[in-house]
Every structure is written in structure tokens, then in C-alpha cells.
Amino acid sequence: MATVLSAPAKITNHLVAMIEKTISGQDALPNISDAERIFAELLTGLAAAQPGFPLAQLKTFVDQEFAQIKHVLHGISLLGQCPDSINAALICRGEKMSIAIMAGVLEARGHNVTVIDPVEKLLAVGHYLESTVDIAESTRRIAASRIPADHMVLMAGFTAGNEKGELVVLG
């Protein structure tokens, strides 16, 4: 079974708002706090519902992701602008965190999980913020991965890689 995951509700909107507010010199902290709260509640809810859920490990992962987001936002505030490549890398962070969390749930339930790196396996053409997948090449790359038949496959939606191996978002 293969599953493509999105970010949790409202996360991508918060990430976009963080970038826009930071560029314009406004305070992005309310959006950061709301996004952190959404993930904290998701993690604690899953830990309560799923025995064996790796709460501490995933909390550390999410905290590191938000630390990196804040670091990049600081750089954006210094520049007063956000290059499209950085914008793309930021707005897909919600999907990245969703994948880690879902892998934790599935592994806690005893499933084997393979996570496909969309930047490596999905070739896209176009602009950093609006690309289209080359289905034939992407299918070839995924088939060459030789994923075991008993694995559940997870992949982030909204994300791919260009011919240079750079992250792009699909639009």
C-alpha cells in the first residue's frame, strides 16, 4: 500500500503567512505558535491513542524542524526577501513532518514502512513554486527503488525535485 500525505490542516497556510509576514517586517510569531501547537496536540493525541507511538522521538524531530524554520525566517528578515527556492523548502515542511508522524504510527502498529524521498524520486519540470511531475521518469525511478512488497510506502505530497536535485513544489 502507498499513501501520499499532506500537511495537517492549516499548517501550509501558517507557513505561507510566516514567510509573507517576515518579508514585510510583521510579527510571524502568532503563526509559528499556532503551527507548533497544532503539531504538539497531534503528537499528544496520537501518543494517547496508539501504544508504542514514539512521542519523544517525534517531538524532538518536530522541535528541530521548527528551530530550522525559525532560523530560515531570521535569514529572510535580514534579507527582506525570500528566494523562491527557500520559499519552496519552507512551505513543504508540513508534509515532511506528516510523513515522520505517520511512519511512527504505522511502525507502532507493527508495519514495515518505506518513505520515498520525493526530491530524489519525483522528477519535476517548471518553477520552484509551480512544477509538474514527469510521470514516466518518476515511475522509472520509483520502480528502480525495489521497495519490499510487505512495506507500506509513504511519500509527501506537494513536493518533488528538479533536474538539479533541488526541492520544488507542485502546483
- pTM score, two decimals? 0.93
Q: Which tens digit of pLDDT belongs to each residue from 21-70?
A: 999 999 999 999 999 999 999 999 999 999 999 999 999 999 999 999 99
| DSSP letter (8 states) at residue 129 | T
The CATH number corresponding to 2-169 among 2.40.50.140, 3.40.1160.10, 3.40.30.10, 3.40.50.1000 equals: 3.40.1160.10
Look up cell 496536540; give the residue.
41
Upper half-sphere CA count for residue 105 (Cβ side, 13 Å):
16
Q: What is the pLDDT of residue 171?
A: 85
Q: Which tens digit of pLDDT belongs to each residue from 124-137?
A: 999 999 999 999 99
Tell me the backbone φ, ψ of residue 28, rounded to 5 degrees: -90, 0
